[in-house]
Structure 1
């Protein structure tokens, strides 16, 4: 059986996936915030199942309350696939009251607003998949539960608060471009947090060591500042994945990232490492783009041609007025490559 697990992008959402990571070997993880991103990820899951030879599948959604329309759509799609001889189990575990209409209509939609999604997921798997031992993480689960539903008098509350910041701060690896590595980084941090659970003043010690935990994951064989470590780590990921991240403009070769944000340091490091590339381009979800170069191409002219943008020879930008907000890297790179083709 293959598991498709869609969850939210906060501590509670990643906490749910931290649990299922203990149970399943064959799994594909997805994360989404609310709005358009949810339906995009649901469509991706349906597409992957429909084009797979694996018959037995488990779609699990946690810490996301679907609208009634989203729930009905998903229910119909799963029924359609099951009629095509797939065997799909569908389960949603959530705690947001806004999902009450869906919970009342669909038997796969479980809602309990007295517990966090992580706690619900923990209890669900402990009850239904008792062959796997997860009691060693129960105190971490209780800490996540305490902070997520804000139980200030709970003994685990302060530890949960530190875990919340730990997950928020492990953001050096962009999830749109490197989803698996981004999540592995979160899982590494949560595993490290467990080491502080049974120590006196563990929440304070964990807070003291957040930077150390981040650097431990990113450093590999380097001892340096977090900025250097993270840019080195990410530039190596870019080099590893450069074949599927390449864009072309005439005889020039560029690398494309989506929603990286500030790119100056990592772009400069990448262009120095990968001398076959002439420019680096990042696009955000609103259509704004940044371009960087290292003397091989005047990106201010490229920005002007693309969208009336401009700037400096090695650092420029602009905005596409016709870009439709998307949470798919593939859709974004296809859009940009078409724009480059149009001016080539």
Structure 2
């Protein structure tokens, strides 16, 4: 059976996935916040199931959802669409807001007395077997997620919660698998401190070093530079996915990449055939970078009435609609460029005609 595991984007959500990773090999992970993002992630899962069914019609599939509560409409929709694909669904959650759904759908398991990670661990450990080290980690997550502040594991859990919430170095929209791998790594390294005296304090002191170790390959550097090298490599290795064009110039489009000046400039230096670098953010801002091959101040002016310097400019894309899929984000930028370049070409033709 192939498992598609959709979970929340906090400590409890990722930790529930760490539990299933311990028990299963054939599993794909997805993470989502609440609301519309759940629907988009579910659509993504359904497309993968359909694709795999065409290759292997006898493949059995389970969609596992943890630490996310659905509404009645979502439950009915998900159940019917999976039934049509001869696939199952199981939801393990602890949010009381899902009570109505839990009463109606037998696959919707709700227990507000435990965090989703503990529910997931109890469910699968009863089927397979206990894992003492994992069980200890689950207690840490449970104590902080349902705020059992008098428990032994609580303070250490608070530090782990902070580790996940601050793990912003890898964007989880354009690099979802890599971002998850990073968070799994940070939590696995954090667990090594458990059992030491003042473990939560020692872990808190070492977070920066743990982050650096994930990104460090050959030599040490600042965390910012190490992250830049990592992101530039990811973009370079997957250039086709990120490439866009503006007239006869080639560029790269990212989303909420962070530290655009460093990453953008590093990428352009290492990829001299690429003329410009654009990062669009959830705040509707667009940052433009170049390395002498194009004047991005004019580009920003033409596209979004922005401006700045020849190699570093920016502006506001007012009609940009934030999305949880890179492809949907990229399509908006391509449409913007197409519309604006066509307008410029038309105006140029009119001037020639005069």
Q: For the residues of structure 1 that align with 2:328 and 2:229, how far apart are their CA atoms?
A: 27
Q: Deviations over 1:220-239 (max 9, x none)?
A: 11211111111111111111
The aligned counterpart of 1:211 is: 208
Does 332-341 or 58-67 show the bigger shift?
332-341
State the distance in 2 between where 1:67 and 1:289 align: 35
Structure 1 residue 334 displacement after superposition = 2.0
Bigger Cα Rg: 2
Residue 74 of structure 1 pairs with residue 78 of structure 2 = yes
Structure 1 residue runs without a partner (length 5+): 83-87
Match of 2:266 among 269, 292, 297: 269
Deviates more, 1:288-297 or 1:57-66: 288-297
Alpha carbon RMSD of aligned pairs, Å? 1.5
Question: SS in structure 2 opposite 1:21?
Answer: helix
Provide the residue aligned with 1:10 in structure 2.
10
Select the residue among 147, 150, 162 that pairs with 1:150.
Answer: 147
* Pairs aligned (count): 337
Provide TM-score, normalisation by structure 1. 0.94
Between 1:164-173 and 1:246-255, the stretch displaced more is 164-173
The alpha-carbon deviation at position 286 of structure 1 amounts to: 4.8
- Structure 2: give runs of 5+ residues left out of the alignment: 342-354
Q: Partners of 1:342 and 1:15 in 2: how far apart?
A: 45
Please give the alpha-carbon distance, in whole angstroms, between the structure 2 residues aligned to 1:327 and 1:63.
18
TM-score where L is the length of structure 2: 0.91
Alpha-carbon distance in 1 for matches of 2:337, 2:316: 14
User: Does the residue aligned with 1:5 lie in a helix, a strand or coil?
Assistant: strand
The whole-number CA distance in structure 2 between the counterparts of 1:161 and 1:183 is: 19
Conserved? CA contact 1:137–1:194, under 8 Å: no
Which protein has the bigger helix share? 2
> In structure 1, how many angstroms separate the alpha carbons of the residues matched to 2:238 and 2:128?
36
Match of 2:250 among 249, 253, 258: 253
Q: Which residue of 2 aligns with 1:85?
A: none
Query: Is the 8 Å Cα contact of residues 222 and 229 (structure 1) preserved in structure 2?
Result: no
Contact 1:11–1:163 (Cα < 8 Å) also in 2 = yes
* Cα pair 1:139 1:197 within 8 Å, conserved: no
* Contact 1:287 1:321 (C-alpha < 8 Å) held by counterparts: yes
1:316 corresponds in structure 2 to: 313
CA distance in 2, matches of 1:283, 1:34: 23
Alignment match of 1:65 (pick from 46, 66, 69):
69
Q: Mapping of 1:332-343 within 5 angstroms?
A: 332-343=329-340
